[in-house]
Amino acid sequence: MRIIYTVMLLWFSGTNVLAQQPDSIFVHLYTDSLKKGTHNYINIDGLFPNGRYLPLDTTHLVFSSSAGQFFGNNLYIDKNFIGDKVSIRVALKGSAIVKEFDIYVKKAPDPAQLPTAEDILRQPPSRKQKRSGN
């Protein structure tokens, strides 16, 4: 029984040693601009030594920005923000790995009303042009 406890103790104490730290981090945005008055998800993936890419969150990362406020990976930009872009800095905890990048803020207003499913279905299908034989 004593041997079993010793083996279990060694097993559980060694599990943290096996945890891998990413070699590098990459920014993958779902949009080309930030929207004011809403939460904008900032997707950061880590490349691990085994070659796998995994998404990272605030347990691995520290976020900061020139404007707005972070809630986890979400950056909230106030409706009254007047700048053209926001500078974002993402640092990997316990490492010197840092990514800095700018994201522009959407200037065009959102449509007052989006088309309904019925409106879309009423539209005639677009005709595709035939390609000349190459």
* pLDDT at res. 17: 43
Alpha-carbon distance 63 to 67, whole Å?
12
Measured CA to CA, the distance from residue 2 to residue 71 in angstroms comes to 47
Residue 57 lies inside a defined structural domain of this protein: yes
Domain assignment present for residue 5? The answer is no
Exposed / middle / buried, residue 76 (Cβ in 10 Å: 0-12, 13-18, 19+): middle
Question: What are the tens digits of pLDDT across the range 89-113?
Answer: 999 999 999 999 999 999 888 777 8
Average pLDDT value for residue range 19-35:
89
122: in domain: no
Quote the CA–CA distance of 29 and 15 in Å, as a whole number.
33
Q: What is the CATH number of the domain that holds 63?
A: 2.60.40.2120
Q: Is residue 44 pLDDT above 80, yes or no? A: yes
Per the domain annotation, does 134 fall within a domain? no
Mean predicted confidence (pLDDT) in 79-84: 93
Q: What number is the average pLDDT over the span 33-57?
A: 94
How many structural domains comprise the chain?
A: 1
Is 114 within a domain? no
Check: CB of residue 81 under 8 Å from CB of residue 67. Answer: yes
Q: Is residue 126 part of a domain?
A: no
Residue 29's domain comprises: 20-109
120 within some domain: no
Q: Is the pTM of this model over 0.95?
A: no
Pick from 6-10, 75-79, 89-93: least confident: 6-10
124 within some domain: no
